[in-house]
Structures are given as C-alpha cells and as structure tokens.
Chains A and B, each alone.
Chain A
Amino acid sequence: MSRVFGNTWALTMSRMRLAMRNRAFLFFSLIMPLAFLFIYAGIFGRGRAQAVPYLLAEVLALTVMGSFWGLSVQLVTFREQGILRRFRVTPVGASAMLASSLLSNYFLTLPTIAIEFFLSRSVFHMAGLGNVLSIFVLVTIGTVTFASLGLIVASVTNTMQETQIINQIIWFVFLFISGATIPFPMLPGAVQAVAVFLPATYLVSGLQRAMIDHTTLPYLGMYLASLGGCALIAFVISAQLFRWEPESKAPRQAKLWAAAAVIPFLLLGIWETVNGDLRSHAMKNLNSIREPYTMERIER
C-alpha cells in the first residue's frame, strides 16, 4: 500500500514539473485566471472594494473549474503518444496514474488561488478574507471534482481532438450558466432551472457565500457532499475505464457509465428545485455589490 502512495507521489512531482514547462498549461492555469481577476475587479467592479469579494469568488470558481482541463487532458496525450504503455510495464497502476492527475493539478492550482487573494487585497483593497476554512475546503474539493470530471471525459473519448471538443462544450456550459460570468439572478428562469443541476453553480454559490457572508462549513454541507460524491464516482469510473493503449477504443457503454457521475447533482438539483434556497442566496450575494452601486446613483 505504501508503494502505491510512493508511486502516486513520484508521478505527481514529475507531472507538476512537466506542467510547469508547458506554456499552454501556465497560460490557462495562471495567466488567464489573473486576467479574469483584473477584468472583473477592475472593470466590472469599477475598483470598488465592496464588490471585490463577490467578484473574487467568481474568479476563484473559474480557477477551480479550470481543473476540468488541467492535467486530465495530458493523460489523453500520454495515451495517444504511447507514453502510458511504457508505464504499464512498471508497477504503476491506473489509480496511481489518475490520482497523480488530481494531485498535481491541485498543487498547481493553490498558488494561483493565493495570488488571487493577494492581489484582491493589495491592488483592489478587499477588506476581509471571507471564511478561510470554508473557502479552502471548497477550493480543495472543487478542484478534485472538476479534475475528476475531466478524467471522465478523457476516459470516454478516443482522440485528443474529441476530448477538446467535448471539453469545450461542457466548459462553456459551466462558464456561462453557473453564475461564474453572468450573475445567477440575471439568467432567464429557464436557464436557472437547468443551472441548478450543474456542479459549477454550487461551486460559485458556495464560494460567494463563504466570501461575502463568511458562511461556515456546516451550512455548505450539501454542496460539499455533492461535489465530493461526484468526484468519488467520477474517479472510480475513470479508473474502471482507464485505457493504456493508444489503439484501444472506449467501449460504447462507457459513455453511459460516465453519466453516473452526474447523479449527485441530479439529486441536489431536484432537491434545490423543490425546496432550495440557491436563488435567494444568489440574490443576496449579488446585492452585496448592487446596494452601494445604486446608492452612488441616487447620490448623483
């Protein structure tokens, strides 16, 4: 057992090193989130300190969701180039390979998160830090969840091209109807009805509540459980569907299996639709930047 951890760790370190040498990875996981921060806080927030927690939460969510691309995609490249099969003749197992994707991605996401907080405080004069423990746990579980979802896509697609297309589609859904770009209350009702089934929506909402209302962990339990459950199912399924060989194709029923990862959010979405408070929370969160904004106008 300790050897499995040892192998996972060695792979994690190696893959972090490779990722740091990959310009595309650095751009998407560091430069782009910071660009979002400057656009959101600088332009949308008009440099007002009160708006920063809300906007930073969105940027944090985008950074965490970026794990969806991250190092899961690297695995597809490894498989296509025949790199994985060299690992297959070593004692490294599929789980160690997959876990190293999640871990290396997580360790590379944390510094970006820290830099985002630092810039929010120093450049945009954000007052507090929100509930640090809640944010840390949300970032941790969220990063693992979105990276696991990326692993699922990697395990059901056969070529890099296919992976990119499917990722692109899912990514745009996450980006635009989760509240990470367009605030949730501003989405049309029909879109909101769909959004409550997305993991991304809960990540954004959870981070905003932790940033603005300093919401503690117990109140975020439902969100965390769903994110964690989704991560666990996605990881187990991708370990089952793991393919080492460049020429092996994903079995047809694999796509059905992969769909199982959405079960926690299907349940959470149903619960939310029936008696949820996501909408009221989203409204309250948004008001945290709206109120002074309207005040300013009245003063004028």
Chain B
Amino acid sequence: MLSGATIEVNNLTKRYGKVEALRGVSFAVNEGEVFGLLGPNGAGKTSTVEILEGLRTPDSGSVSVCGLDPQTSGAEFKYVIGAALQATALPDKMRVHEALDLFGSFYPNRRGTKELMARFGLEEKRNAFYSQLSGGQKQRLALAMALVNNPRVVFLDEPTAGLDPQVRREIYDIIEELKKEKKTILITTHYIEEAEKLCDRVAIVDHGKVIALGTPRELKQRSGAVTRISVRMARPETNGALGKLDGVTECRTEADDYLLYSTRVPRTIVALVKHLEEQNNELVSLEISAPSLEDIFLELTGRRLRD
C-alpha cells in the first residue's frame, strides 16, 4: 500500500495443469480510475480478475484491494467490492427484484432495489424470472447486482461479451455513469473500442503478461504515432516502391489494400500522389486512420485481436 493505489497486483503467476495462465502480471489502479485489461481470450484477464475477487488463489505474487487481501480479509473485503462475473448465473426461477433484495440483504450498506431497477431499466422486468430475461437484461441485472452494496471497487469481467452492438452501447452508458460516481473500476475486454471509449488507462495482456500499459493516448504515442493510410489503386504494384515513400516506416498488403504506416502524413500523401502520376496509375480509394489500440496490439504481438 506504499503507493496508495486502490488495486495492487504484484507479479502474479498462475498455472492450470500445463497451461501457464499468468506469468508475472503486475499493475496498480488508482482510486476513481477506470482501468482496462485488454487482450484476446485466454490471455489471463479473467484469472487476474478472479484472483482480485478472491475466487482464485495465485501460485505466487500478491494482490491487495483497498489495502485488503482478498483471501484473508473476509466480510470486510466483500463489503468494498462489487463484481459482475464473466458468466453471472442465477437460479432460473428467481425474480429480478428478489435477486436484488436477496443480494442486498447480505450488506449493511445497501442500495435500494427500486433505485437499482430504475437505473438499470429493469422496472418492467421486476417480476420476471431470471430465465425469461434476454442476454442484455441479464447483463444489466448482473451490473445492478455488482452495485447493490455501493462498493468502492467494481470488477466487470467482459461486461459486453456476446451482446449485440445496441445493447453494448447501453452498457457503455451505464459504465460511463459509474465513472462519474468516482468508483474504481477494473474492466476486462477483448473489444478495442470498449477499452478506448471507457478506460482511463489500459493494460494490454497477452500470454499471461502485461505487454503495454498506459492511457489509450499514451499507448498510441508510444507506438511512434504511426498513422495508417490504406490505399487502393487501379493497378496493383509489386515493386515495393510504396514502402520507400517519404515518411513511410512500413508497408503491408491486406487483400487489395496497401497499408502504409507513416510518421509524417502530409509528406507521404504528396509523395504518394506524385508516385502514382509517374506510374500512370490511378487512386481508387484512400483512407487515413489515426493509430488505434488495434494497431498497437498488432504491433506488439504481430496478431490481430478478434473475437
């Protein structure tokens, strides 16, 4: 607790049989921060969060949440955390308001069922059985349950996985609101846009290790602020001349597109147009995109981050 961080994770390792799920994960989350663990499935995100929630024990390394050890602190620890697990399951025949009443009753400092149902748009489903809810409604209930004790720290493990884009946006709005309440939130995701949109800081996790950590902006800058220019031309070009254009650090092909990574976009564009004129080639389409976390992930791991 020397650093005063709300969540501290030091050098965690965890192995399931022959699989090394965590290979020395470390990071710290400050009070009121929304922190994202971004990585593909199997990167070790859930293992890390479940160790923080007290559901799993690490093989080595240590964690603390609000200065408490999840394994030994008992109820005191449970009072300060709220969690939406990767797959929150409730009995099929439990009604929405019963779930909130029941879980609320476990805490001395609880939020009212009515307030939570209103906030998460569940009033109409008040008397519905859990089994009758849609995926999005189940997820909203899981989030409401995570807040039932008005926790200081909220763990959201893949809160939008498997939801359609519209429901996903609804969940984003809810998380944005929590952010305003100054809750400390740890969120895991394999959706880049989720991490970019919601998180103050992001740790990119791959193969059980944190491979990059910073604000989305920092991560982009650290990647050399490389802007991606996708170019499609009437005639394909194979002589590699595009890679030698002014400002271009790298050139890749993806289907019919050429992806030019440039550090000086204006110069590259001018050089590109000149080059096309010289070659008597024609520009079909041009798209300039600022570096995204997706690019950074690709750059760091050589792989794309996909569902």
Q: Do A and B come from one complex?
A: yes
Q: Is A18 an interface residue (CB 8 A)?
A: yes
Query: Using an 8 Å CB-CB cutoff, how does the interface string of B99-110 with A read, 1 for contact, 0 for none?
Result: 000110111100
Which A residue sits closest to B103, measured CB to CB? A90
How far apart sit A255 and B75, CA to CA, in the bound complex (Å)? 30
Query: In the complex the two chains form, is A86's CB within 8 Å of B85's CB?
Result: yes
Q: Is B27 an interface residue (CB 8 A)?
A: no
Query: In the complex the two chains form, is B89's CB within 8 Å of A82's CB?
Result: yes
Q: Is A279 an interface residue (CB 8 A)?
A: no
* Also in contact, A91 and B75, with CB within 8 A (given A10-B105, A86-B85, A245-B55): yes
Report B-chain residues with C-beta under 8 Å of the C-beta of A14. Answer: 94, 98, 102
Q: Is B90 an interface residue (CB 8 A)?
A: yes
Report A-chain residues with C-beta under 8 Å of the C-beta of B90. Answer: 83, 86
Report A-chain residues with C-beta under 8 Å of the C-beta of B63. Answer: none
> Which A192-216 residues sit within 8 Å CB-CB of chain B?
none
Report B-chain residues with C-beta under 8 Å of the C-beta of A245. Answer: 55
> Which listed residue (A6, A11, A18, A91) contacts B93, Cβ 8 A?
A18
* Also in contact, A86 and B89, with CB within 8 A (given A3-B75, A14-B94, A91-B78): yes
How far apart sit A92 and B107, CA to CA, in the bound complex (Å)? 10
Q: Is B118 an interface residue (CB 8 A)?
A: no
Query: Using an 8 Å CB-CB cutoff, how does the interface string of A81-107 with B read, 1 for contact, 0 for none?
Result: 111011011111000000000000000
Q: Is B87 an interface residue (CB 8 A)?
A: yes
* Also in contact, A21 and B93, with CB within 8 A (given A10-B102, A10-B106, A89-B54): yes
Q: Is B79 an interface residue (CB 8 A)?
A: yes
Query: In the complex the two chains form, is B89's CB within 8 Å of A89's CB?
Result: no
Query: Using an 8 Å CB-CB cutoff, how does the interface string of A202-246 with B read, 1 for contact, 0 for none?
Result: 000000000000000000000000000000000000000000110
* Also in contact, A81 and B106, with CB within 8 A (given A17-B98, A89-B54, A245-B55): no
Closest CB in chain B relative to A275 CB, distance in Å: 49
How far apart sit A157 and B83, CA to CA, in the bound complex (Å)? 28
Interface size classification for chain B: 20 to 34
Q: Is A171 an interface residue (CB 8 A)?
A: no
How far apart sit A158 and B55, CA to CA, in the bound complex (Å)? 19
Q: Is A112 an interface residue (CB 8 A)?
A: no
Query: In the complex the two chains form, is B91's CB within 8 Å of A78's CB?
Result: yes
The binding surface of chain B is classed by DSSP as loop
Q: Is B37 an interface residue (CB 8 A)?
A: no
Query: In the complex the two chains form, is B85's CB within 8 Å of A89's CB?
Result: yes
Query: In the complex the two chains form, is A86's CB within 8 Å of B88's CB?
Result: yes
Q: Is B81 an interface residue (CB 8 A)?
A: yes
How far apart sit A92 and B54, CA to CA, in the bound complex (Å)? 13
Which A residue sits closest to B91, measured CB to CB? A18
Report B-chain residues with C-beta under 8 Å of the C-beta of A83. Answer: 89-91
How far apart sit A85 and B54, CA to CA, in the bound complex (Å)? 10
Closest CB in chain B relative to A105 CB, distance in Å: 16
How far apart sit A64 and B289, CA to CA, in the bound complex (Å)? 71
How far apart sit A21 and B98, CA to CA, in the bound complex (Å)? 14
With a 10 A CB-CB cut-off, give which of A6, A17, A86 has the most chain B CB atoms: A86
Q: Is B53 an interface residue (CB 8 A)?
A: yes
Report A-chain residues with C-beta under 8 Å of the C-beta of B75. Answer: 3, 91
Task: Count chain A residues whose beta carbon lies closer than 8 angstroms to a beta carbon of B.
Answer: 23
Query: In the complex the two chains form, is B81's CB within 8 Å of A89's CB?
Result: yes
How far apart sit A10 and B110, CA to CA, in the bound complex (Å)? 14
> Which listed residue (A7, A18, A21, A91) contacts B79, Cβ 8 A?
A91
How far apart sit A7 and B103, CA to CA, in the bound complex (Å)? 9
How far apart sit A91 and B94, CA to CA, in the bound complex (Å)? 20
* Also in contact, A89 and B98, with CB within 8 A (given A18-B91, A83-B89, A83-B90): no
Closest CB in chain B relative to A94 CB, distance in Å: 12
Report B-chain residues with C-beta under 8 Å of the C-beta of A10. Answer: 102, 105-106
Query: In the complex the two chains form, is A92's CB within 8 Å of B106's CB?
Result: yes
Which A residue sits closest to B56, measured CB to CB? A245
Report A-chain residues with C-beta under 8 Å of the C-beta of B83. Answer: 89
Report A-chain residues with C-beta under 8 Å of the C-beta of B88. Answer: 86
Query: In the complex the two chains form, is A81's CB within 8 Å of B93's CB?
Result: no
How far apart sit A81 and B108, CA to CA, in the bound complex (Å)? 28
Q: Is A253 an interface residue (CB 8 A)?
A: no
Which A residue sits closest to B53, measured CB to CB? A89
> Which B56-91 residues sit within 8 Å CB-CB of chain A?
74-75, 78-79, 81, 83, 85, 87-91
Closest CB in chain A relative to B15 CB, distance in Å: 15
Which B residue sits closest to A74, measured CB to CB? B91
Which A residue sits closest to B78, measured CB to CB? A91
Closest CB in chain A relative to B159 CB, distance in Å: 15
Query: Using an 8 Å CB-CB cutoff, how does the interface string of A1-26 with B read, 1 for contact, 0 for none?
Result: 00100110011001001100110000
Which A residue sits closest to B77, measured CB to CB? A91
> Which listed residue (A3, A17, A85) contacts B85, Cβ 8 A?
A85
With a 10 A CB-CB cut-off, give which of A21, A81, A90 has the most chain B CB atoms: A90
Q: Nearest 8 A-B pairs (CB), nearest first?
A: A91-B75, A10-B105, A21-B93, A91-B78, A82-B89, A89-B83, A90-B106, A83-B89
Q: Can you give 19 A-B contacts (C-beta < 8 A)? A: A14-B94, A14-B98, A14-B102, A18-B93, A21-B93, A81-B89, A82-B85, A86-B89, A86-B90, A88-B54, A88-B55, A89-B53, A89-B78, A89-B83, A89-B85, A90-B103, A91-B74, A91-B79, A91-B107
- Given A86-B145, A92-B106, 6 more pairs with CB closer than 8 A: A14-B98, A82-B85, A89-B55, A89-B78, A89-B81, A89-B85
